[in-house]
Structure 1
Amino acid sequence: MSHLKPRIALLAIPEVAASTLYGMNDVFASAGRDWAALVEGKKGESVLDPRVVSFRGPGPMTLTNGVRIVPDEDDGVVPDVVCVPEVAVAPGAVLTDSHRDEIAWLRRCYEGGAIVATACSGALLLAETGLLNGSEATTHWAYCDALSCYPGVQVHPNRALVVGGEGGRLIMAGGGTSWEDLALYLVARLVSVDEAMHIAKLFLIDWHDVGQLPYAALARGSQVDDAGIAHCQNWIAEHYERSSPVATMIQLSGMTERTFNRRFKLATGMSPIDYVHTLRIEEAKQLLESDDQPVEAIAQDVGYEDAAFFGRLFRRKVGITPLQYRKRFRGLRRALEAT
């Protein structure tokens, strides 16, 4: 890994979006070059060496959104940093056979001293290597349950960036545009904090300091394998604001409380009361985005008589207070609705 410039290998696979892959490439290529040219009027030169690499043979590759690219083939040289931008597969997909070459390459690079960094669902591919066993991690909020199924992986869905492994050489960013946080972190680590700040200003990047929970939603659909639980899910979707909703669902199901709780958790991955809280919080988020009524009134509308309890619950599940959520998202919704 003795390169003149730190080499960053960006992994191209069919399940990656071109915007993320080349967005990261552009950020890394900008380091040391664009700030000097645009702000100081000097000729700058990139101080990092990003390359898009593939193990799918020579020639073009079609990515998940239909864009065709021509990545480089791996030259056998261990890079300083390996980045897995994402793996756009269903959360429960098994990658062991379909990405065997990439998994072996990630292990080989890490054993050779490279930093291995992932964004979004790319953490699933890293987990397949076994390098995350017993470690902390993060990923896109919709993939947290899948990632937590790997041995000993402690998932932090509320964190936009997690650094772990020997020497801090395992780095994971959350979902969506948190790849920008990952890129800034790597620029700061490989070049300097000042250069990372230059990049942030040039690309108008805001650090996702509140994590990704404000963007999360109830990602579980109706449970079709258990008709009794599916019936209760349909009912609670329309009546979540009622008092004692879990007791009513138990009555509707005709099951004992113990049986209902067990089957509901098996079907949805959540306890009945957690499911109710999640539905209520999702509705509260919609009201905070679109309605001007006080937080106390919204709490009442979604089923909470105690506004203070609602505020604590909202912050625990979303990561910010209801007022902070309204400030962040109401303007965006109104701007989009006005277009």
Structure 2
Amino acid sequence: MNAPDRTLTVALLAVPDAAASTLLSLYDVFSSVGRDWEVLIEGRPPRPRMRPIIVAESSGRLSVANGIYLDAECGFDQCTRPDIVCVPDLLISPATFARGQHPAAIQWLTACHASGSLITSACSGALLLAEAGLLDGQEATIHWAYGDTMRLHFPEVRLRANQTLVSSGIGQRVVTAGGGASWQDLALFLIAREAGLDQAMHIAKLYLFEWHDRGQTPYAALVRSARSEDGLVSEAQSWLANNFDRPHPVSSVIARSGLPERTFKRRFVQAAGMSAMEYVHTLRLEAAKQRLETSQEIVESIAESVGYEDASFFRRLFRRKVGMTPAEYRRRFSGLRSAVTDSSHSGS
């Protein structure tokens, strides 16, 4: 699918709640393809391979998320068949998402896809692709915090929330990227696919990009803060949050509820979307992740402190739920915390 003899047009969608950071970062990266490596490393004239443009409902200045102003180079009616369309993440609350906020953008996305454009999204931008019907019956990913929102509003989407990058549709012409820095994976993937693998490797080296091959699970919070609307279950969740490290917490919370065991368990699953025991596991694992990030305790000690007598079981469960072993998690995430802590102490 590479097009070595022409410059590809990459349309970056700007809507009022678009994140300027992702949009402008993609702009810079795509502008670098065929230019920076050639000039900085090989000492030869640049040969740009991609031309990013900011596209909005109409050309001119517009305000996006956080009150940042951008200049859209053209309106939807002036950009009818770009080679690639990128939808950046949207700074919206998962709980307040509603259809119908960007009708012109939805119509434009649908038209671009029909004309043959490669349609892509980063993070929560996948919600617009879903609203445009481009993900109906297709696999897709999204930032892990928006997984429930996607499932609620677009149940026809086959969500693969753990994956960093998913290609789907006829000709694999719809590409969704997960959360946060996975826009980098999206950029590298598109550069490799459309401009060549060597170009993608050049960009990865120049920008120090890493491929998030472990998916989103290691970064995801296993427990959401929202409580159930069922008062009894909400009270049970609160009690478990403070007592998950006790022996047999589920039996205790059932006894506190005054309900028959079978009734309580059925009601908990209906309200919380998981069993009470699974909820306890998520609480325990989140606590374990925090201790792995902040201490040098041995794994056996951490397992016991969060409620597991069997450290082997804890290791297996941690790997299955988090996507890496406790030791791997500590190596990946404790370093950042230590670096920030050491830096703040040295500056005081």
Q: Report the TM-score range of the alignment, normalised by the length of the smaller protein.
A: over 0.9
Contact 2:16 2:63 in 1 (8 A): yes
- Partner residue, 1:265: 269
Deviation of 1:12 after TM superposition, in Å, equals 0.5
- Residue 104 (str. 1) matches residue 104 (str. 2): no
Post-superposition shift, 1:253? 1.7
Query: Is residue 159 from structure 1 mapped to residue 163 from structure 2 by the alignment?
Result: yes
Counterpart contact for 1:314–1:322, Cα < 8 Å: yes
| AA of the residue aligned to 1:294 | I
* Cα distance change, pair 314–224 in 1 and its aligned pair in 2 (3 A): closer
Aligned residue number for residue 150 of structure 2: 147
Tell me which moved more, 128-137 or 117-126.
128-137
Count residues with an aligned counterpart: 337
What is the distance in 2 between the residues matched to 1:222 and 1:182? 31
**Which residue of structure 2 lines up, in the alignment, with residue 66 of structure 1?**
67
The 5-angstrom pairing of residues 143-292 of structure 1 reads 143-149=146-152, 150-218=154-222, 220-223=224-227, 225-292=229-296
Partner of 2:13: 11
1:67: Cα distance to partner?
1.0
Asked if the contact 2:162/2:216 (under 8 Å) is kept, the reply is yes
Q: Which residue of 1 aligns with 2:30?
A: 28
- Residue of structure 2 aligned with 1:122, choices 118, 122, 125: 125
Return the offset for 1:264.
Answer: 2.4
**1:92, distance to aligned residue in structure 2 (A):** 3.8
Instruction: Tell me by how many angstroms 1:291 deviates.
Output: 1.3
2:53 partner SS? strand
Q: Which amino acid in structure 2 is aligned with residue 38 of structure 1?
A: L
Offset of residue 232 of structure 1: 1.4
Length-normalised TM-score, structure 1: 0.94
**SS of residue paired to 1:241:** coil
2:181 counterpart SS class:
helix
Aligned residue in 2 for 1:137: 140
Residue 48 of structure 1 corresponds to which residue in structure 2? 50
Measure, in 2, the Cα distance between the counterparts of 1:222 and 1:129. Answer: 29
1:188/1:194 contact within 8 Å kept:
yes
What's the CA shift string for 1:41-96, capped at 9, x where partnerless?
A: 222131111111001x3432222122111112221421111111112222244443
Bigger drift between 328-337 and 153-162 goes to 153-162
Q: Which residue of 1 aligns with 2:340?
A: 336
* 8 Å CA contact 1:87, 1:125 repeated in 2: no
The alpha-carbon deviation at position 106 of structure 1 amounts to 1.2
Answer yes or no: is the 8 Å Cα contact 1:222–1:230 preserved in 2.
no
Structure 1 residues 328 and 26: CA distance shift in structure 2, 3 A? same
Offset of residue 222 of structure 1: 4.3
> Equivalent residue of 1:300, what SS?
helix
Q: Return the letter of the residue paired with 1:62.
A: S
In structure 2, C-alpha distance between the alignment counterparts of 1:189 and 1:8, rounded to whole Å: 13
Asked if the contact 1:158–1:319 (Cα under 8 Å) also holds between the matched residues in 2, the reply is: no
Change beyond 3 A, Cα 1:226–1:214: same
**1:97 is paired with a residue of what secondary structure?**
coil
SS at match of 1:65: helix
* More off after superposition, 63-72 vs 175-184: 63-72
CA RMSD of aligned residues (A): 1.7
Paired amino acid for 1:139: I
1:79 counterpart letter in structure 2: P
Provide the identity percentage.
49
| Greater shift in the superposed pair: 299-308 or 325-334 | 299-308
Which 10-residue stretch deviates more, 32-41 or 131-140?
Answer: 131-140
Aligned mate of 2:300, from 296, 300, 304: 296
Which residue of the partner structure matches residue 40 of structure 2? 38
CA–CA distance in structure 2, aligned partners of residues 268 and 93 of structure 1: 19
Aligned amino acid, residue 81 of structure 1? I
2:82 is equivalent to residue 79 of structure 1: yes
User: Can you list the C-alpha shifts for 1:117-160, whole angstroms capped at 9, x where unaligned?
Assistant: 11101111111122212211111010112222323322222211
Question: Which 5+ residue runs of structure 2 have no aligned equivalent?
Answer: none
Q: Which runs of 4 or more aligned residues in structure 1 lie more than 4 Å from their structure 2 counterparts after TM superposition?
A: none
Instruction: For 1:189, give the aligned amino acid.
Output: R
1:193-219 CA distances to partner (integer Å, 9 max, x unpaired)?
111000011111111111111111145
Per the normalisation by structure 2, the TM-score is 0.92
Amino acid at match of 2:151: S
